[in-house]
Structure 1
Amino acid sequence: MSFFALYDAEHFYGEPEPVPGARVSFAPDKLSAARERRTVRPADRQPVGGEGLMVNEIAADVPLWPSSLWRVADLEPMRPLLSHRWLHCRAFTVMEQVPAWLVAGPHGETVEWVIARTRTLTGAQADALAAQSDEGEEPLIRTLWARWSRGHGTGSPVGCALTTLNQVVTEAAHRVGPQLFGPDDDEEEVEVLSDPAWLRAFGAAYAAALALGAPELLTPRENAVLARRWTTVFGSPDLT
């Protein structure tokens, strides 16, 4: 089983658009045109090396949260990328659309719920999360990661969700105002999220994503402690 993640039209370098039954092929001209738009200079219209359509053999290996996720088959691979589970393909056949939250694992729907609320986080909600006690979270997070690492050399128990959370909380903070940001310790010209309340709110989202997305790594009581700040403010996910 293989998966193709679609992010947006700007980053889709194939044709036609994915629909069940379609044979999608890599379109080098679309990749070159996108590069020209980004760099404002002519790009080589010939494909370079093993470029093509990226396909993941495991949904949780998708590196960014997609707008849609497709199960594909009949791959025409170019060469492996980074590992045997990531491939660049010249073409594939689309079988069906599957839930995008599969990139966060079998419990990804609950992680998607955390991401959705983080994406629209308000100042009042960030303050409410920051006001909750985070007692017990740090040792549980260490325990969770240690248990995950024993069975997995790399990666995350919730796929790309933690990276996505970092992105969406930053986007939400930008909508609230520039006062939430300050210079990076290593690169002063770079502005990073620095407001203490918002950083604590991100910590609550991070802890909840792990507790809800990888419940098998802790006991139910431990998961409840890890998600407590988040569920106190937002309740528990109702995904029925």
Structure 2
Amino acid sequence: MSFFALYDAEHFYGEPEPVPGARVSFVPDKLFAARERRTVLPADRQPAGDEGLMVNGIAADVPLWPSSLWRVTDLEPMRPLPGHRWLRCRAFTVVEQVPAWLVAGPHGDAVEWVIARTRTLTGAQADALAALSDEGEEPLTRTLWARWSRDPHTGSPVGCALTTLSKVVTEAAHRVGPQLFGRDEEDGVEVLSDPAWLRAFGAAYAAALALGAPELLTPRENAVLARRWTTVFGSPDLPPHASPPSTERTPGQQDARRI
């Protein structure tokens, strides 16, 4: 079983658009044209041999939060990569669209709920989160990461969600105003520096872990870890969903099942 993440038209280098049953093929000219638009320089149109459509064997390995996520099969890899959980492919066949939140794991719908509210965070909401006590969050976060690290995992318990949270809280702060930012003297870049907004981000981070990886803590511990967030926003009202399909198969393996 393998997954293809679609982000936007600018970063899709295949044809046709993914739909169930479509045979999607890599189009090098689309990649070269996108490079030229981004660099405003002529792109080398000789393939380097490692371009292609990126396919992940595990949904939680998708590096960025996608606009849509597709289960694919019948992969035509550019070259075998033994031991890798991703491939660059010349072509694949689309089986079905699956929820994009699977990139955050089996409880990714709750993580998606946290991200959606972070994306539209207001100054008043940030102040409300900052005003609440964060007692217990730091030790529980350390405990959660320690338990996650006992097994040979890569990445985070909620996939790319924590990176996504950092991005969307910065975008929300930019909409409020430049006064929330300062200059990082060491790196020479603008960073979010307002104390209230940094505490609000900490609440979102803690809630994403508590709601997205509940198996790593007890119910009481998860409630404490998410407490600031749920005090301001309540708990996610999500429909029950079936467990996602197993993703232990590597990208190079073929999925013989059909839906």
- 1:153: how far off? 3.8
Alpha carbons of 1:89 and 1:149: their partners in 2 closer, same or farther (altered >3 Å)?
same
Answer with 127-136 or 75-84: which moved more.
75-84
Q: Is the 8 A contact 1:72 1:92 kept in 2?
A: yes
User: Structure 1 runs of 4+ off > 6 angstroms?
Assistant: none
- 1:79: how far off? 3.1
Query: C-alpha separation between the residues in 1 aligned to 2:82 and 2:13?
Result: 20
Query: C-alpha separation between the residues in 1 aligned to 2:227 and 2:82?
Result: 37
What TM-score comes out, normalization by structure 2 length? 0.89
Alpha carbons of 1:80 and 1:112: their partners in 2 closer, same or farther (altered >3 Å)?
farther
Deviations 1:173-230 (A, max 9, x none): 0000010000xx4545310000000000000000000000000000000000000000
Deviations 1:17-51 (A, max 9, x none): 00000000001000000000000011122322211
Alpha carbons of 1:215 and 1:80: their partners in 2 closer, same or farther (altered >3 Å)?
farther
Indicate whether 1:93 and 2:85 are aligned: no
Q: Is the 8 A contact 1:81 1:88 kept in 2?
A: no
Answer with 44-53 or 22-31: which moved more.
44-53
Where in structure 2 are there 5+ consecutive unaligned residues?
A: 239-259
Alpha carbons of 1:51 and 1:97: their partners in 2 closer, same or farther (altered >3 Å)?
same
Answer with 208-217 or 151-160: which moved more.
151-160
Classify the secondary structure of the residue corresponding to 1:166: helix
Q: Is the 8 A contact 1:130 1:198 kept in 2?
A: yes
Query: C-alpha separation between the residues in 1 aligned to 2:227 and 2:123?
Result: 19
Identical positions, percent = 90
Deviations 1:62-110 (A, max 9, x none): 0000000000000001136796101100000000000000000000000
Indicate whether 1:178 and 2:178 are aligned: yes
Query: C-alpha separation between the residues in 2 aligned to 1:81 and 1:202?
Result: 38
Query: C-alpha separation between the residues in 2 aligned to 1:114 and 1:83?
Result: 33
Where in structure 1 are there 5+ consecutive unaligned residues?
A: none
- Of structures 1 and 2, the one scoring higher in RCO (CA 8 A, sep 6+) is 2
Q: Is the 8 A contact 1:119 1:171 kept in 2?
A: yes
Question: What RMSD over aligned residues (CA atoms) do the two structures have, in Å?
Answer: 1.3
Answer with 85-94 or 186-195: which moved more.
186-195
Query: C-alpha separation between the residues in 1 aligned to 2:73 and 2:85?
Result: 14
What TM-score comes out, normalization by structure 1 length? 0.96
Looking at secondary structure, tell me which structure has more helix per residue: 1
Query: C-alpha separation between the residues in 1 aligned to 2:124 and 2:2?
Result: 42
Query: C-alpha separation between the residues in 1 aligned to 2:122 and 2:59?
Result: 31
Q: Is the 8 A contact 1:28 1:46 kept in 2?
A: no
Alpha carbons of 1:80 and 1:176: their partners in 2 closer, same or farther (altered >3 Å)?
farther
Q: Is the 8 A contact 1:33 1:43 kept in 2?
A: yes
| Residue in 2 that maps onto 1:235 | 234
Query: C-alpha separation between the residues in 1 aligned to 2:83 and 2:191?
Result: 32
Q: Is the 8 A contact 1:80 1:88 kept in 2?
A: no
Q: Is the 8 A contact 1:4 1:56 kept in 2?
A: yes
Indicate whether 1:216 and 2:212 are aligned: no
Query: C-alpha separation between the residues in 2 aligned to 1:82 and 1:201?
Result: 42
Classify the secondary structure of the residue corresponding to 1:151: coil
